[in-house]
Structures are given as C-alpha cells and as structure tokens.
Structure 1
C-alpha cells in the first residue's frame, strides 16, 4: 500500500485528497502551517501524521519525507516554481517514486501568455528537469467551480447577479475540485508504472454564463442573472474586492474565456461520471446565501 506525503493538505483540493486517502486506509503525512486546523479538518486517525512547517521552514519536511513513495504537490505562491522544484528534488532524493503535481490548463496556451501560465509552465519544466527523478504525473485543471467563491458569492448576495467578461452564451470550461482530488487519489493508489509520466487534462464540463445563472437560480430558489461586464470592471472586482495583486488579477481577466477541450476520458480515471456544477453548487449553496 502507498504511503503518501501531501503538500497543500488544508486547501479545498488537498483536504479532499487527504480525506479520500484516509477512507482508503492509506498512510498519509501532511505538511501544514497550522496543525490545529488540520486536526479540525481531519480528526484523529492512526494513518495520519501531521508535520508543522511551511515553504520557508522545511526542516520538518526533510526529516519526515523518507519512507514515502508518493508526493502530492499543490503550491500557491508567487515563487511556486522554485518551491515545487525544491520540494520534489528533496522527495526524489529520499526515495519517493512518484510526484503528482497540480498544474494548470493555462500551460496549453501561448508561451508566457500570462503570469499564471508562466508560473505553471516554469514549474512543469523545472520538475521535468530534475536529474535522476522518479515518475512525474501532471494534472492540468481549468478554472475551478470553487472560483465562484472569489466574487460570485458576494454579488449573488448583494444583487442576485453573477458577472463575467464572456458573451452570455459562450461556453467556458470548468473543473470540479472534487474531480481533481479523485483523479489524484486514483493515481496515487494505483501502480506507479501504470501512470508513468502521464499528463491529465482535467477540464470536465463546459457552461456559459447563462447556463451557470440558471443552475444557481434553481439551487438557490431565486432568480440570479448573468451580467456581461467590461474587462476593466472585472479587473477592479478582483483587485478592489477580492484584493488580488495586479499580476494575478490581470492574468485572470486575460484568460477568463480560455478555451480548453473537455477531456471525455476522465470517467475512466474517476470510476464515475464527472461532477456537474449542479451537484457541486447544491453541496456548497450555503456559502452563497
């Protein structure tokens, strides 16, 4: 049975990965800044080891990575490429056989198209270039359903509206966070050789703004409209309301209508159909009320 080390354990995707692995009776070690938060999320389990640390303090990580054969790597930082390569290099040197890395579908666009794409591209190149590395599996999701919690939750409460720069009937590509976690767990609990150095594009579904508004309206039991807004207004929402730095906000608005093909093969990895926005929103509707 695999022994898995998790970076990013207390985030939305990472916490789902940890919970699914524990349900499968897999031994898990999680590097976290706040052990008390991890304990609240995961409770007590003989299969779970919590290690305190962060990207600037890797002593705990270095002393506990040996003995694991898989590393789940999800990093949010403006220096993500350097951090990821450092973590993976230490892991491979300690005997880890497989790194499962959450990247982004943005790397499939034009080279250095945005700050976000560049960060993920540099991460992938850096990980691939580690000397004498083990297997490296790349997961490339598009925008998450949970991105709706960046601003849609606020505008729904205030005005019963959701905003975007795309045409109301233009289909945009989305990924369920639960599906990302499920694919990661599948990869890390099946033979390393099966997934080799695979890249899995994780765009699961396509919805237009009007379709999203219809789903939200149905789940919340009230009319919610999609409103197309100028890109300048969208940028101000991200910078003034969500408090994103310029280089992140400009990157998001630049690629908000990025087109990525839906991966029709994902049910093979999931062992079930992909999650719909209807199901995800129903499970998270209290966050929008």
Structure 2
C-alpha cells in the first residue's frame, strides 16, 4: 500500500495525514478544491500530487480512485450543522465508498467523530451512517473517531482573539482532546499496518479536561486573564438545534472511555494540552490577537 488519496488535504487533519504519509515514503494524492492555495502549494512542495476536485462531484474523481491503493476519507467541516447538512455529508461519504469499491481501492480509512454512534438518536443520517455503510460495503477499512481538536481553539467561535473563552459545555464536564498532528501520525500507522486494523473502529483522543481546566491552562501559558463566557443552552438552540442536542448529549452521557492502552501500543505518547500550547498554541493564539488589532 503506497498510493494514498487524502481528501480534505488542506484541512487540519487531512494535511497532518498527508505530511505524515509523505515523510514515510507514501505517494500522496491530495484532493483540494483550490490547488493554488498556500496550503495546497506547500503540500506540492513537500511532494504531494495535487488533485483538483470535490467529493460532491464524485464522477470527476473516477480516474484518481482507480490509481490509488488507499483512501483517507474525511468530509469538509460544517460549522452550523442541520438535518440538511448531515444528509449531504452522509450522501457524500456513501458515494465515495461506492466509487472506492467500484474502482478497486484496497483500503478505506474513514475519519468520523467521537460519539458518532450516540449521535444517531438525533442525527439519523450522519457520520455513523457512513461508518455502517463502510462495513456493509465489503471493503477492507477502518474508522478513526477523533476527539475535540486542540486547534479548534483557534476558531473565531471560541473568542480567544478578543480575550474570551466561549464555552458551550458545563464548566466541570471533562472531554478528551487531541492534536491533529497525532491524528495524522495514527492515520499513517493504520495505513502501514492496514491488515491489522481492518474492521476496527478506534476512538482516538488524549487527556480529558474540563472547560475550567482548559481556561486555567490558557491563562497560565498566555500569562493573561481570559474572560470565561458560558453559552446558555437556549442560545445554542437558536443557533443550531443539532449542535445544542450534541452538547446536551455530552453533558448528560459523556463519551465512552477511550482505550488508551490500545492507542499507546501504537503511539507511546500523545501530545498533551500543555505541550501543544508550548509548541503551537501560544504563538498562534497571540497571532489571532494581533490580527484583531
């Protein structure tokens, strides 16, 4: 297994996976809507073959699917989710799996989301739909379910550029976090050992932290006071009913325990939150603040 098509190749986890594969002598085909973007050009400089295209136009990808051994399937993020966006994502994932089977792709690694199975109660056609379709397809494959990205803290919705930490969860509700670089490393390991991972679903995340613990770490590492903004559930419902129900699910049930022993048997140590802040977070959060001035 040497030729891998990476969808979402200029996104956070797609690019992390592409660079990991390139560093380990894989031939990487990077799917991007805009091959002239800085992110795409950097991938090309690193040795990736850029593929202009979109999973929504699946027919245009027939030839590239025929060329590769493996597919890293991650769907574009949706920041304001709804029943319609969930349906669209499920359809795109199913079409990609169908084409992979038709064109003889040997192995599909699908990146879902932590707790996808629990979300099926209020998201009947979403990421868990794609997971089930992969298993029913008869293809060799695996599913990775990443936890919350540490890099998501850089999104405007968290408000760090303005000195805020906008939080939708209960203050003391701990959830696991993960650095996208670790997702890329684990994806690479799965492709290197695809026969051992065939049929496996892996919940993937590191240390669990409450919003208050995240806030304390941010204040300590940035050496500044940050305003904690708790978003009421009724406000979340006004913004996105789907997201509000997700927050309710996490608050009431939480996530299933992650098998850290299994993960550490492949990656001895994941990036901790403090480590991510020291290596990446502090610099990028300060850049957010300077951009807003």
TM-score by length of 1: 0.84
User: Partner of 1:182 in structure 2?
Assistant: 185
Alignment correspondent of 1:96: 105
CA distance in 2, matches of 1:57, 1:146: 29
Q: Confirm whether residue 80 of structure 1 aligns to residue 89 of structure 2.
A: yes
The DSSP-based 3-state class of the residue aligned with 1:57 is helix
Which residue of structure 1 aligns with residue 29 of structure 2?
29
Structure 1 residue 36: Cα displacement: 1.0
How many Å apart are 1:24 and its aligned residue? Answer: 1.1
Aligned-residue offset at 1:185: 1.0
Does structure 1 conserve the Cα–Cα contact (< 8 Å) formed by 2:233 and 2:244?
A: no
Question: C-alpha displacement at 1:141, in angstroms?
Answer: 1.7
Other-structure match for 2:146: 141
**C-alpha separation in 2, matches of 1:121 and 1:9:** 22
CA distance in 1, matches of 2:122, 2:155: 19
Alpha-carbon shift at residue 151 of structure 1 (Å): 4.4
Cα distance between partner residues in 2 of 1:254 and 1:147? 20
**In structure 1, C-alpha distance between the alignment counterparts of 2:75 and 2:157, rounded to whole Å:** 24
Secondary structure of the corresponding residue to residue 36 of structure 2: helix
8 A contact 2:7–2:74 mirrored in 1: yes
CA displacement at 1:73 relative to structure 2? 0.2
Q: How big is the shift at 1:206?
A: 0.5
Contiguous gaps of at least 5 residues in structure 1: 240-245
Q: Distance in 1 between matches of 2:277 and 2:209?
A: 13
Which runs of no fewer than 5 residues in structure 2 stay unpaired? 79-84, 287-293
How big is each residue's C-alpha offset from its partner over 1:44-95, in whole Å with a ceiling of 9 and x where there is no partner?
Answer: 25x5211111123234420122232111000136212211121122112222
Q: Secondary structure at the match of 1:85?
A: helix
Alignment correspondent of 1:194: 196
Matches within 5 A, 1:92-131: 92-109=101-118, 112-115=120-123, 118-130=125-137
CA contact (8 A) 1:173 1:260 kept: no
Specify which of 263, 273, 276 is matched with residue 280 of structure 1: 276
The 1-side partners of 2:250 and 2:175 are apart by 8
Please give the TM-score of this superposition, normalised by the length of structure 2: 0.83
Q: Secondary structure at the match of 2:212?
A: helix
In 2, the alpha carbon distance for the partners of 1:185 and 1:247 equals 35
What does residue 17 of structure 2 align with? 17
